[in-house]
Amino acid sequence: MADVIVFWFLALVTVGSGLAVVLLPNPIYCALCLAMTMVGVSALFVTLGAYFIAGVQLIVYAGAVLVLFTMVLMLFDLKSETNAFSRGVITGAIKVACAGVLSGLIAGAIVMTLGQRSSVVSPLAEKSAIDSTKALGKLLFQENVFAFEALGVLLLVIAVGTVSLARSKGGTHAKH
């Protein structure tokens, strides 16, 4: 019973703040609601027994990535941004197209997985938190170490690319 209440509460918070991200006009509120969504997702991970992933979700997404998002948003002239994005036929068409693609994706995912309750037990399930953390570490650093390292290199490439793109126009010290 308690599990059900906790689940529905967290689901409501997560989905509600997720909707708020899309529906609210003010980007700052959107970013803060996105952070709330991340916290909700992390709490849902806790209810599933994935403590480590919950913690990492908090530290990485809610604690670092979205703080940077919010910080950058706060430096914008929000009024002109809002106007630029909420007017015009083209932006309207893009919005409708995006909404269509997203709802198509969600519907497709639901239709394709309907009726397939997979009975595959994941290696992380049915273990205490410490064991599941260890199992996760083994999966990442022993079995899938190549993919893990390749992802690391990919992230490095992205970081270098971003810096060089920002510098190509003179960066923060550009002369106008």
Residue 75 CA to residue 65 CA, distance in Å, equals 16
Is 54 near other proteins (CB under 8 A)? yes
Among residues 43, 68, 69, 65, the alpha carbon closest in space to that of 55 is found at: 43
CB 160 within 8 A of CB 152: no
Q: Is 125 helix (H, G, I), strand (E, B) or coil?
A: coil
Is 13 near other proteins (CB under 8 A)? no
Task: Among 13, 20, 21, 56, indicate the residue that binds other proteins (CB under 8 A).
Answer: 56
Which C-beta is closer to other proteins: that of 75 or that of 153? 75
| Two structure tokens written together for 115 | 């009726």
CB 131 within 8 A of CB 51: no
Is 14 near other proteins (CB under 8 A)? no
Is 35 near other proteins (CB under 8 A)? yes
Question: By the criterion CB under 8 A, which residues form the site for other proteins?
Answer: 2, 28, 32, 35, 39, 42, 51-52, 54-59, 62-64, 67-68, 70-71, 74-75, 128-130, 133
